[in-house]
Amino acid sequence: MRRLDGNLTCLYSQKQFRYQRAHSAQKVAALFLSPDRALLLSIMFRSTLAFFLLCALCPAEVWPTYRHDNRRSGVSPSSLQLPLTEAWVHNGGPPQQAWTGPAKWDAYSSNEGLQSMRNFDPCYFTTAAHNLVYYGSSSDNALHCLDASTGEEQWQHFTNSSVRFPPTLVGEKAWFGSDDGYIYCADALTGKTLLKKQAAPSDRLIPSNGKLISPWPVRTGITIENGRAFFAASLLPWKTSYLWCIDAKTAEQAYLTEHQGVTLQGAILAGGDRLYIPQGRAAPITLNQNDGKKTGTIGQAGGTFCR
């Protein structure tokens, strides 16, 4: 066992992630349980090694968005009956991170020898509902849906570039973004496309780390709060970034705001009337949910997550 980011993890020598089932009548999709019994199933690949942050999913509890809720708590009230045993194995292939390893040189801020602060996609994070498990793949550019009891693939939804965050599940809809500059809404049970909306100002693609991406990829995932969907299309601080808010039922635009000198990448945190968005080494920014205007920053330094 190893401890990683405050959670106990299992170390394997194959590129696989595994589910385990508790010795009870309940069907539990899991591999390992964090100390706070959070429902956090993540698939982590490092070269030829696989790391897993694993917990259990009880039938009465869902895990509808990245780290469970819009405050990214990573905590569930569900509990387990131990010990756990392996139920099935799924091979998802190694992820292809947006930013690999520490930065040797930051030309924009003229800094050298910096550690990575954009490590938001080292693994395939998951969401779960309807006895199904979902994950976005940076390897094959698809959203995947698996049966939580058997591990059998139910459907795949392909995009034109990497999907770096799991979908946000609202009812029978699965919302997700892609590095191709679009957001998608799929039927959570069948994978049928319900919405494809361009978040980037153009559909142009450029080469990046062996992939083709939009100059304005959607790397924030989709945050659904009070019936509205929030997401950003952003990459480089010297290019305009775009923050979107649309109605989660009708997909009608509530607002679109432009921001200069920022790079909005990492999951959006929502709390009160504010949005909090990480942006690499720069301090996370805060914005008003109602109009998308910037209200300030958090501290002086950046990082992958808003805490």
The number of beta carbons lying within 10 Å of the beta carbon of residue 153 is 11
Q: Quick check: is 307 in a domain?
A: no
In a domain, 305, yes or no: no
* Residues forming a β-bridge with 44: 51, 123
The answer to whether residue 22 sits within a structural domain is: yes
21: in domain: yes
Distance CA 126, CA 303 (A): 21
- Torsion angle of the four alpha carbons 167, 122, 74, 259, in this order, in degrees rounded to the nearest 10: -70
**Confidence band, pLDDT 50/70/90 cuts, at residue 274:** very high
pTM: 0.79
Residue at 304 is within a domain:
no
Using DSSP's 3-state secondary structure scheme, residue 231 falls into: strand
Residue 93 sits in which domain range?
A: 2-76+85-297
Q: What count of other Cβ atoms lies within 10 Å of the Cβ of residue 18?
A: 20
Residue 135: strand pairing partners: 126, 144
- pLDDT(11) > 50: no
Category of 105 on φ-ψ map: left (φ > 0), alpha (ψ -120 to 50) or beta: beta
What does the longest C-alpha to C-alpha distance in the chain come to? Answer: 58
pLDDT over threshold 50, residue 164: yes
- Give the confidence band of 47 by pLDDT, cuts at 50, 70, 90: very low
Continuous H helices in 132-228: none
pLDDT > 70? residue 229: yes
Q: Is the distance from CB of 284 to CB of 302 less than 8 angstroms?
A: yes
CATH number of the domain residue 12 falls in: 2.40.128.630
Tens-digit pLDDT profile for residues 215-225: 999 999 999 99
Report pLDDT digits (tens) over 103-130: 666 666 666 666 666 778 889 999 999 9
Number of domains in the chain: 1
Contact 203, 159 (CB under 8 A): no
Answer whether residue 242 is part of any domain.
Answer: yes
Least confident of 3-12, 17-26, 76-85: 3-12
Predicted local confidence at residue 111, as pLDDT: 66
pLDDT at 33 over 60: no
Is the residue at 57 inside a domain? yes
The tens digit of pLDDT for each residue in 182-212 reads: 999 999 999 999 999 999 999 999 999 889 9
